[in-house]
Amino acid sequence: MITPATLRRTVSAALEEDAPWGDLTSTALLPASADATADLIARESGVFSGGEVFAASFRLTDPEVRVDLHVADGDRFEPGDALASVTGRARSLLTAERVALNFTQRMSGIATLTAAYVDAVAGTGARIADTRKTTPGLREFERHAVVSGGGGNHRRSLSDAVMAKDNHLAVLRQSGHDLATALREALSRLPHTTHVVVEVDRLDQIEAVLDGGAHTVLLDNFSLDDLRAGVALIAGRATVEASGGVSLDAVRAIAETGVQVISVGALTHSARALDLGLDLRVG
């Protein structure tokens, strides 16, 4: 969910970045009284995300601009579809155009890629989730786009869950601490609502993680055979998550091993922006 404060702060920062002292071209060339309407047109198929952000880009530029969204976040579209329309002063529309498109193209690209992963694992029971591999400052927008595509969100930040990864485990080993004991001690100090995830990269690490009371065991970069073995070994004692270089071609086979969650960093760090255009109609 994109909070109103984050929406205003992030979009305002983008508008200021793009026109720190105003839109020199539009102000110099266009009559202040000129009105226009622009349509957001899809140049390719995809899944829409970012309608609220698109609208805010224009309304924060000029509160008198009218924005009509023709699709909702999560809707699929085809080339040529009109996704939204904006009407107002031509100067305002052209000033906000690039920021509005940048956000919407980026978010729709993430939603579209996420939907492809979700479609690929349909019927397996596995859930596709994002990671913290997001663009700094845009996490709420990108996580929202993942949900638009049918995916789920992982922990929002380092403050939201315990997630012990390979480097944490390496420090424990170097310090002479037993993993199971360290987990039990951590759980005794944490609120009872805190979720604990531990990443492992070998099957022989799993029993200690379970003994320590972890709620989720993350099997990182496991082969398909080892994923199946890990699922069997855990046997319902914790949620099983798979991660590590998960490609669209491989994700169905991973899901069919019986894991419950597949976290995919590519949803946010490798999604390309979709080709959307803003076609202006004057008069």
Structure confidence at residue 67 as a pLDDT band (50, 70, 90) = very high
- In the set 165, 228, 237, 252, the catalytic residue is 165
Read off the pLDDT of each residue in 66-87 and give the average, rounded to a whole number. 98
pTM of the entire structure?
A: 0.94
Helix axes 139-148, 90-120, angle to 10 degrees: 60
At 1 the pLDDT is 80
Read off the pLDDT of each residue in 119-143 and give the average, rounded to a whole number. 97
At 281 the pLDDT is 84
Say which residues have a Cβ less than 8 Å from residue 139's Cβ, sequence separation at least 6. 132, 156, 157
- In the set 39, 62, 201, 220, the catalytic residue is 220
- CA torsion, ordered 37, 20, 106, 242, to nearest 10 deg: -150
Q: Does 165 qualify as catalytic in the annotation?
A: yes
Choose among 103, 112, 102, 110: nearest CA to 130.
110
Choose among 139, 112, 50, 54: nearest CA to 274.
112
- Checking if the pLDDT of 283 tops 70, the result is no
At 7 the pLDDT is 97
Read off the pLDDT of each residue in 238-258 and give the average, rounded to a whole number. 97
Helices in 121-223 by DSSP H: which ranges? Answer: 139-148, 166-174, 179-189, 206-211
Distance CA 32, CA 6 (A): 31
Structure confidence at residue 282 as a pLDDT band (50, 70, 90) = confident
170 near 177, Cβ under 8 Å? no
At 245 the pLDDT is 87
- Checking if the pLDDT of 260 tops 80, the result is yes
The lowest-confidence range among 14-28, 85-99, 176-190, 199-213 is 176-190
pLDDT tens string 171-194: 988 887 889 999 999 999 999 999
102 near 236, Cβ under 8 Å? no
Q: Does 66 qualify as catalytic in the annotation?
A: no
Measured from the Cβ of residue 159, the count of other Cβ atoms closer than 10 Å reads 6
Backbone angles phi, psi at 188, to 5 degrees: -70, -25
- In the set 76, 98, 155, 237, the catalytic residue is 98
What's the farthest any 2 CA atoms get from each other in the chain? 74
At 51 the pLDDT is 98
Tokens found for residue 154: 């992982």
Q: What is the overall mean pLDDT for the chain?
A: 96
- In the set 133, 228, 237, 252, the catalytic residue is 133
Q: Does 220 qualify as catalytic in the annotation?
A: yes
169 near 179, Cβ under 8 Å? yes
